[in-house]
Structure 1
Amino acid sequence: MKQEELRSWSIAELAKLSRVSSRTLRHYDQVGLLPPAYTGHNGYRYYTQPELLRLQRILLLRELGLGLGTIGQVLDGQADQLDALSVHRKWLLAERDRLDRMARTVGATISALQQGDAMSGEEIFKDFDTNPYEEEARQRWGDQAVADSKARHAALSAADKQAFMAEAGAINEELARCVDAGLPADDARVQAAVERHYRWICVSWTPNADSYVGLGRMYVEDPRFTAFYDKSRAGLASYLLEGITVYAASRLSAAGGQSTA
């Protein structure tokens, strides 16, 4: 075993090494995010290499904009540390490439302005990969919710993303079968499908009762989302909203967003 794997660092040493304050490290311990490897007879916290690697991932996810609660969920859901780090690295490289492309476009704009040249609309916005729904989401649910959602999705592996999209289709198919069977929104089978939908949403974002119902209303009010659901069965978006309304009232809290069952 390598010597570095055997050594430990005091909280003061880790604070200096990571440039994270001792106070922050103590807070991470208090909330269960980064417990020390052990506490010495002097009461000091000591950390070993696994804790340092976990702190690296915490700092990365903080850079992605996640809150501490969400970071804990992400870390606890990633059993394979090497695979998780590989996913994070791919995200960083992709983000670097995206920013490089945007920087080139801004550089071209600067050059055009300096030379008095005109740019087409396409050239001005070239390489600005914006999500058309993101600003709407920020207005509805706030910046933190959007940051958490983007970071959670970025942490998914390619296989996880495929499974995520496959589950969306499977949920819609089950809801369509419920429509065909004439089941009311509060039927156990419908509520089981809505439960799957809620868990599917929680992969990216954890809504509370009010925000989950608000999401369901958006499915009905926004033609873009209505088309996604209604392609499986006419009226499915409205049917899902009815199911969501029942589910939120009986299973979710108004503030915490966690299932009460």
Structure 2
Amino acid sequence: MRDQFQRRTHAAEIGASTPMLMALSGHASVCSLAKYTGGVGRGAGTMAVGDEARERWPEEFEQSRRNTATMTAEDVERMQRELTAAMIRMAEFMAAGTPVGDVVVQAEIDTQYQGICRFWTPNRDAYKCLGQIYVDDERFKANYEKIAEGLAEYQRDAMVVYAEERLGE
């Protein structure tokens, strides 16, 4: 248990993405993760949120727990590299002036969504909330801004289009 907490704390400290933090913390709700992120690395919030997620979304919590239980430090690192590469691809689309609704941008967002679905399956509102967190939470936004100014907003906008066009309630 302590080992898992240390992995979550380390991931948060190095700027892990939302899907990674959700996977490691067992969150089934992006919005509850947003409330939780203020407590990352402090210890007490981790258990309280895990308990809340287990209580409110037992199936999703168990699925996420099973999916992350076998993750090694190398798995976490590989996933972080994949997420960074996806952010770079989005920055390239943004720099080229590609509209967020363009088929190539939406194909990238679909790939990202499928990656998130390895841990939990967000519905339309949850996915839009996740995109908004990338803009509103300075820790997440900073990761996008390291790659390109305005990238968090571009990512959010592309996620909103995807959610509206492809995801159900």
Shared fold by TM > 0.5? Answer: yes
Which of 151, 154, 160 is equivalent to 1:245? 160
Among 135, 148, 151, which residue is 1:233 paired with?
Answer: 148
Scaled by the length of structure 1, the TM-score of the pair is 0.43
Describe the SS at the equivalent of 1:196: helix
Find the aligned partners of 1:98 and 1:197 in 2 and give their Cα distance: 24
Whichever structure has more helix as a proportion of its residues is 2
Q: Residues 208 and 181 from structure 1, CA distance in 2 versus in 1: closer, same or farther, beyond 3 angstroms?
A: same
Equivalent-residue separation in structure 2 for 1:180 and 1:203 (angstroms) = 29
Is the 8 Å Cα contact of residues 176 and 236 (structure 1) preserved in structure 2? yes
Deviations 1:168-210 (A, max 9, x none): 0110010010011001110111111111221222222211111
| 2:134 paired residue number | 219
Distance 2:162 2:156 in 1: 10
In the superposition, relative to structure 1, how do residues 131 and 230 fare at CA in structure 2: closer, same or farther (>3 Å)? farther
Q: 1:200 to 1:230 in 2, by over 3 A?
A: farther
- TM-aligned CA deviation for residue 130 of structure 1: 5.4
Q: Gapped runs of 5+ residues in structure 1?
A: 1-94, 100-127, 255-261
> What SS class does the counterpart of residue 211 from structure 1 fall into?
helix
Q: 2:99 is paired with a residue of what secondary structure? A: coil
Once the two structures are superposed, the pairs formed by residues 63-102 of structure 1 within 5 Å of their partners are 95=1
| Aligned-partner Cα distance in 1 for 2:143–2:4 | 28
Which of the numbers 102, 106, 109 marks the counterpart of 1:191?
Answer: 106
Identity %: 34
- 1:173 is aligned, of 58, 76, 88, to 88
- The structure with more radius of gyration: 1
Q: Give the count of matched residue pairs.
A: 129
Deviation at 1:146, TM superposition (A): 4.8
Inter-CA distance 193–204: structure 2 relative to 1 (3 Å threshold): same
Distance of 1:208 and 1:177 partners within structure 2: 27
Q: What residue ranges of structure 2 are gaps of 5+ in the alignment?
A: 6-41
Quote the offset at 1:149 in angstroms. Answer: 2.9
Which amino acid is 1:215 matched to?
L
Amino acid at match of 1:242: D
1:203 is aligned, of 75, 93, 118, to 118
State the structure with bigger RCO (CA 8 A, min sep 6), 1 or 2: 2
Runs of 4 or more, structure 1, over 6 Å off, are: 96-99
- Paired with 2:116 and 2:44, the residues of 1 have a C-alpha distance of 21
Q: TM-score, normalised by structure 2?
A: 0.64
